[in-house]
A = this chain, B = another copy of it.
Amino acid sequence: MEVIKKLPTNKIICGDCQHIIKSFPDNSIDLIMTSPPYADSRKKTYGGILPDEYPDWFFPKSAEFLRVLKPTGTFILNIKEKVVDGQRHTYVLEIILGMKKQGWLWTEEFIWHKKNCYPGKWPNRFRDAWERCLQFNKEKKFNMYQDNVMLPVGSWSKTRLKKLGSMDKIRFESQSKSGFGKNIANWLDRDMVYPTNVLHLATECSYKDHSAPFPVELPEWFIKLFTLEGDIVLDPFSGSGTSALAAARLGRNYIGIEILENYCEASRNKLLNVEDTLFKISSTGAKYD
């Protein structure tokens, strides 16, 4: 496959990422944020890679990710090992060790604490309430914009933020982009602290079937932390398009790759809505108090 000069940004591409990315130029992506299909012991389901075969399935892809990532870029891999025959499987550990052999630096492991994890009771195990968000880098010096994910001190703002609907969040982001809006000023007055490497987010419980593996806040957080506006965010296993949605909301250029056509369609529809809203906000100059 011929290497292209211009990346196909702000698109959901339908296909196998291992093949598609081969056409991307070296050192061109600022952030890769993805949650690959989980290993599964059932053979027939989509993405049902057997746990034992998972590392070998993954390594050719991570090698391409390494090639296209900018030296200052970051790769965030959201993953969790399944229980197989009463034990945690080791494929995630093997992936970390194998990626280091490929040349990746394993910089950090963030914990996503799933506040509303799946229920259940078993004689020898509690509910699984966390997943790994592994941070890999190409170089020891990488871009990190810590001030963009600072948290207000205390709980006063938690209730306030929680009350905002998703549309309000879009408005909030568009306001903070342009840097005005009196709400922002109010919020900035408060004391802010840096977060830790533990993220507390609830999974999305949607009424409809637009289920996403992770809440949009998860990619949002990493996109704000590791990219600036106009940077390029790649999700090679785009699924329902949550990472792309987060990137679009935040004014980053997204590239989503997804192998299943119906997921691609659903993602594109979601993204059209967001982009339409963002355009309207910016063109009417609407303000919100």
List the interface of chain A (C-beta within 8 A of B): 85-88, 90, 93-94, 96-97, 100, 105-109, 111, 113, 117, 121, 123-130, 140-142, 144, 146, 194-198
Tell me whether B106 and A124 are in contact (CB under 8 A).
no
Chain B neighbourhood of A124, CB < 8 A? 107, 140-142, 144
Chain B neighbourhood of A109, CB < 8 A? 88
What separation, in Å, do the CA atoms of A105 and B140 have in the docked complex?
A: 35
Q: How far is the CB of A162 from chain B (nearest CB, A)?
A: 14
- Contact A90 B86, CB 8 Å, known A129-B196, A197-B127, A197-B128: no
Q: How far is the CB of A241 from chain B (nearest CB, A)?
A: 27
Q: How far is the CB of A51 from chain B (nearest CB, A)?
A: 13
Pick the residue among B126, B129, B140 that contacts A146 (CB under 8 A).
Answer: B126
Chain A's interface: helix, strand, loop or mixed, by majority?
mixed
Chain B neighbourhood of A88, CB < 8 A? 106-109
Tell me whether A96 and B105 are in contact (CB under 8 A).
no
Tell me whether B86 and A105 are in contact (CB under 8 A).
yes
Q: How far is the CB of A223 from chain B (nearest CB, A)?
A: 16
Tell me whether B198 and A121 are in contact (CB under 8 A).
no
In the complex, what residue of chain B is closest to A186 when comparing beta carbons? B121
Q: How far is the CB of A238 from chain B (nearest CB, A)?
A: 27
- Jot down 7 A-B pairs with beta carbons below 8 A, ordered by A: A87-B106, A88-B109, A90-B96, A94-B97, A111-B111, A126-B194, A126-B196
What separation, in Å, do the CA atoms of A74 and B196 have in the docked complex?
A: 30
Tell me whether B86 and A126 are in contact (CB under 8 A).
no
- Contact A198 B90, CB 8 Å, known A111-B111, A111-B113, A144-B124: no
